[in-house]
Amino acid sequence: MGGCPVKVLSVASECAPLVKTGGLADVVGALPAALAGQGVEMRVLLPGYRPVLGAVGKGKKLVDLPDFFGGKAVLRAGQAAGLDLIVLDAPHLFDREGTPYLDPANHDWPDNPERFAALSWAACLVAAGEAGTWRPDVVHAHDWQAGFAPYYLKAHFGAPVPSVLTIHNIAFHGVVPVDRMANLRIEAKDYDREGVEFWGQISALKAGLVYADRLTTVSPTYARELTRAEFGMGMDGVIRSRDADFVGILNGIDEEVWDPASDPQITAYKSAKGKARNKAALRKEFGLGEAEGPLCVVVSRLSDQKGLDLLLQALPALIDRGGQLALLGSGDPGLEVAFTHAAEAHDNIAVKIGYDEGLSHRMMAGGDAILVPSRFEPCGLTQLYGLRYGTVPVVALTGGLADTVIPASPAAIEAGVATGIQFHPVTADALAHALMQLVDLYHRPEDWARLQKNGMAQNVGWARSAAKYAEVYGELVAAA
């Protein structure tokens, strides 16, 4: 992109490595560096959570906001973790224990709608030039937490710049009771079927879907799926109406952070042959012995969306054939208990409840296969880590999983291009057959080695996807 850089304000509720609950944070944290090579200057607007302010410090005060969604706030600029940041320092909204969305008892903060509406409004202040001299050419909003930003830009700020909304997971709508319309600065005329109304309530996500100038999501297949009722979660009609403005852009991963040749968490290796030491160390860490079959790993939120209930049903197809499972995750209490009981009942199953970033790297390096049996998966990063580390992905045929794994069909194996195993439909029986196929391939050393080598050769970084985001921004600026 020639000439002056396109300036983009990325608005999100989380950003790795500062604050993370899922893949959204990884994407938001990776985009600025990936886009720098595309002539894009990106700054990230984040809520002033304790970890964020701890990293940024006081920074540079941009503007005082004495009465801002119920209290005093300040917009600050600063740098942390190699990122140029603007932080909404609003203690009454963000200076709390718990996670970005949940209190210490794991309940939604009751004022979440106002908290993230404030973030969206702050984005508009920056876009309108009311927060210092740096002004973006484009506002890029992520998920429902920034969904009101495109609406506010048009309804309250005279559309000073165009906007993009990226859907990372359409399952979360940011639904708000209509009696909070005034608190959220929603105009009564915009509360209708063509605007922010959603089944008698207000939806922050729908506001973004309707008012953003362009829409993106995180894989081409997920973009197609979202136009169908079974995947669209009630928003499929809105998305179909925006078809001309909607594109799927596949996520990438940070190839420096996730690099088996230099990863400080593991015994580094450049080919899959180097995995043996890491596999032995991982078995020891999980208390697993030697086994004839593959060591499969799961690093996941434990939920029905992720298909982990199906894995419980399908496990005999792996364990009865000499395979092993090491699982790291947390989430649904019933699934946590069920996997813990499975580990107690079987010597070849081991489970750690919780999350540990370092351990997730060691599992990628030590596992033979990574299991991702999601019922739906917008993009998925776990299978990309698996490919990078020579850990063969076993994935459901959905979303980004379909776009990133070349299934080991007989033709693909014969052609030498397969990188993993896909299964469909997303049922326990189909997953069991996939696990049996996995064990069979594992016992065919030449085919297995080819799968690993092909996976490690895949382009899983951000270069191609960053170019597509830059193209979207460029088209918006040219049309403005």
**Distances from the Cα of 45 to the Cα of 13, 223, 472, angstroms:** 8, 26, 20
Of residues 373 and 26, more confidence is placed in 373
Reported as a single tens digit per residue, the pLDDT across 75-110 is: 999 999 999 999 999 999 999 999 999 999 989 999
**Cα within 13 Å of Cα(381), Cβ side:** 21
Check if 6-252+462-479 and 272-456 are the same fold: yes
Residue with tokens 């005093």, as numbered in its chain: 72
Band of the pLDDT at 3, cuts 50, 70, 90? low
Q: What is the largest CA-CA distance in the chain?
A: 68
The residue-averaged pLDDT of 307-318 equals 98
Four-residue CA torsion sign, 173, 177, 181, 184: negative
Reported as a single tens digit per residue, the pLDDT across 194-204 is: 999 999 999 99
Indicate the domain borders of the chain: 6-252+462-479, 272-456
- CATH code for the domain defined by 272-456: 3.40.50.2000
pLDDT for 178: 96
- State yes or no: pLDDT of 271 exceeds 90: yes
Reported as a single tens digit per residue, the pLDDT across 313-324 is: 999 999 999 999
Of 24, 6, 7, give the one whose Cα is nearest residue 15.
24
Edge-to-edge strand list for the sheet holding 175-176: 175-176, 201-203, 197-198
Band of the pLDDT at 2, cuts 50, 70, 90? low
- State yes or no: pLDDT of 345 exceeds 80: yes
**Cα within 13 Å of Cα(133), Cβ side:** 1
- Is the separation of the CB atoms in 307 and 331 below 8 Å? no
Residue with tokens 């001299």, as numbered in its chain: 133
**CA dist., res. 392 & res. 419, Å (int):** 7
Of 438, 359, 383, 391, give the one whose Cα is nearest residue 269.
391
Reported as a single tens digit per residue, the pLDDT across 105-126 is: 989 999 999 999 999 999 999 9
**Distances from the Cα of 339 to the Cα of 16, 221, 303, 331, angstroms:** 28, 31, 12, 12
Of 336, 460, 351, 448, give the one whose Cα is nearest residue 403.
460
Backbone φ and ψ for 359, nearest 5 degrees, come out as -65, -35
Q: Are strands 175-176 and 83-89 parallel, antiparallel or unpaired?
A: unpaired
* Mean per-residue pLDDT over the chain, rounded: 96
Reported as a single tens digit per residue, the pLDDT across 403-460 is: 999 999 999 999 999 999 999 999 999 999 999 999 999 999 999 999 999 999 999 9
Reported as a single tens digit per residue, the pLDDT across 41-67 is: 999 999 999 999 999 988 999 999 999
pLDDT for 23: 85
Q: What percent of the chain has pLDDT over 70?
A: 99
**CA dist., res. 223 & res. 235, Å (int):** 12
- Is the separation of the CB atoms in 405 and 311 below 8 Å? no
Of 416, 419, 426, give the one whose Cα is nearest residue 403.
419
**Cα within 13 Å of Cα(19), Cβ side:** 22
The residue-averaged pLDDT of 128-139 equals 96
Reported as a single tens digit per residue, the pLDDT across 180-233 is: 999 999 999 999 999 999 999 999 999 999 999 999 999 999 999 999 999 999
Fold of 6-252+462-479: Rossmann fold (3.40.50)
- State yes or no: pLDDT of 1 exceeds 70: no
- Is the separation of the CB atoms in 304 and 298 below 8 Å? no
Four-residue CA torsion sign, 46, 52, 53, 59: negative
**Distances from the Cα of 55 to the Cα of 119, 150, 257, 421, 435, angstroms:** 19, 28, 19, 41, 44
**CA dist., res. 125 & res. 152, Å (int):** 10
Beta bridge partners of 372: 395
Reported as a single tens digit per residue, the pLDDT across 383-414 is: 999 999 999 999 999 999 999 999 999 999 99
Residue 429 one-letter amino acid:
D
